[in-house]
Structure 1
Amino acid sequence: MNIVLIGLMGSGKSAVGRLLAERLGRPFVDTDALVEAEAGRPIPAIFAEEGEEGFRRREAEVIRRVAARDGQVIATGGGAVLWAESREALRQGGLVVWLDAPPETLFRRALAQGIAQRPLLAGPDPLGRLRDLAEARQAAYAAAAHVRVSTENRSLHEIVAEIMNILRGQPT
């Protein structure tokens, strides 16, 4: 069984995924990093050259291949759940954990990580755009997730501990 982390940008998928994989002794797979490696260029360049549709096609192919393997911790891109085929592949391949926080928190994290790396936040009102994305994607996250975990005001260790408890079948 894979452990799959989904959520909006800044929700902590990569950081939580790395620590969770270390704790579980499993390989960590970041689908965005695989898309970049296979394309030979960073995500902002893929968006600029191929648009969001081109990026999503690449992402869906990576997800299909990665989800077919077992025993990994997988961090997906924020929009990975937008395509039904990707949602289904992720759900069939493991436990899907939705890491969630309010858009304002996600925006602060995105700023700290470098907003230029976030092509979907380009424009005059990035916080408004993030709020719109949260609203537009909520149904897709809910449809994909087996469980939802809040990352608001919590350390990586607290979030990983909650996921470990879920895996053990213990209440959080």
Structure 2
Amino acid sequence: MPDSLPPPTPGEELIKRIAVRVREARKSRGLPRRVLSELSGVSPRYLAQLEAGEGNISVILLQRVAGALDLKIDALLAENMPLDRDAERMAQVFSKASPDIQQQVRALLFAHSQTELRAGRICLIGLRGAGKSTLGKLAGEVLGLPFIELNKEIEAALDMPIAEVLALYGQEGYRELEAEALERVSATHDRMILAAAGGIVAEKTTYVRLLQRFHTIWLHTSPAEYMQRVRAQGDERPMEGNPAAMTQLKTLLDTRTPLYERADSQVNTSNRPVKASLKDLLRIIEKRRFLDVLDG
């Protein structure tokens, strides 16, 4: 009984893949080999050998063949790359489109699977003082993910602190800037942990986009701890000259709780040390597989 043939080497597999793709691309375009030869400057004999998977071809010649087929050379080399001309053109148009258009295309393509669209992206929501900045930064370090605060993204874009942004643009203008910042981070980060301002849930359109593009986790605590943590950060504004501040905080929390409850998960940080809350957060991320790209 003859010995079995050894498995093909990676180089042999690449040559065969190139052969199949060149042959299929040429035929799909209705180009005789003679015409492809004239367009590419590669001899018909060399093209015949290429399509038969015989011998090697230089990168320069392969680049000529790809160009004659109206393809990028990547389409002939990559393990998974569509050779359809329309698909190739769409890829080129997509690469040149604005971040907003790219995000709209992504949303349409992933409409069948919101889980796949959100995979790798996590957003922490909740009132100020819930622990979004602290836990988001620590979780990012543990998981090896970039941590971004949406307010800091706005500050960087305008080169001014949020207080000045609010004073200059007002609440309505700030919400528009917040929506634009969300679009930017969504378009530029496939994997990340984001901390959003507490009021983002009150802007319906922006919140819907956030829920579509991120796995959301609501961090919350008791009204007393909200107030205590904000003051511990050196901000006396919640209490200064306002004896009704606690009542207002409770009212705000009651109003926003139904919106926060739309999040995928939640972590109660009340009376919990930072390490314990971080452990709770990481457990949810792992259990719910928020960083996984799921099949199906």
TM-score w.r.t. the length of structure 2 is: 0.53
Distance 2:158 2:280 in 1: 35
Distance 2:186 2:123 in 1: 9
Partner of 2:233: 113
Say if 2:192 is the partner of 1:72. yes
Could you list the per-position Cα deviations for residues 12-71 of structure 1 after superposition, in whole angstroms to 9, with x for gaps in the alignment? 101100000000001111101111121222112222222211111111111122234311
Partner of 1:156: 274
Partner of 1:84: 204
Percent identical pairs in the alignment equals 34
Partner of 2:113: none
Any unmatched runs of 5+ in structure 2?
Answer: 1-119, 289-296
Say if 2:165 is the partner of 1:46. yes
The aligned amino acid for 2:268 is S
Q: 1:14 and 1:135, CA in 2 relative to 1: closer, same or farther beyond 3 A?
A: same
CA drift of 1:135 comes to 1.6
Partner of 2:176: 57
Structure showing greater relative contact order (alpha-carbon pairs closer than 8 Å, 6 or more residues apart): 1
Q: 1:115 and 1:130, CA in 2 relative to 1: closer, same or farther beyond 3 A?
A: farther
The aligned amino acid for 1:142 is E
CA drift of 1:156 comes to 1.9
Q: 1:97 and 1:75, CA in 2 relative to 1: closer, same or farther beyond 3 A?
A: same
Stretch moving more, 153-162 or 9-18: 153-162
The answer (yes or no) to whether the contact 1:99–1:148 under 8 Å persists in 2 is yes
Computing the radius of gyration over CA atoms, which structure comes out larger, 1 or 2? 2
Local SS of the residue matching 2:266:
strand
Distance 2:241 2:158 in 1: 25
Partner of 1:7: 126
Partner of 2:286: 168
Distance 1:107 1:85 in 2: 29
Q: 1:136 and 1:149, CA in 2 relative to 1: closer, same or farther beyond 3 A?
A: same
Could you list the per-position Cα deviations for residues 79-122 of structure 1 after superposition, in whole angstroms to 9, with x for gaps in the alignment? 12221222222222231000011111101111111326x6x888
The aligned amino acid for 1:39 is L
The aligned amino acid for 1:141 is Y
CA drift of 1:7 comes to 0.3
The answer (yes or no) to whether the contact 1:70–1:93 under 8 Å persists in 2 is no
Distance 1:133 1:63 in 2: 23
**Aligned match of 1:102 in 210, 215, 222?**
222
Matches within 5 A, 1:132-151: 132-143=251-262, 145-151=263-269
Distance 1:28 1:154 in 2: 22
TM-score w.r.t. the length of structure 1 is: 0.87
The aligned amino acid for 1:110 is V
Root-mean-square deviation (CA, aligned residues, Å) is 2.0
Kindly tell me the number of residue pairs found equivalent between the two proteins: 167
Distance 1:133 1:58 in 2: 23
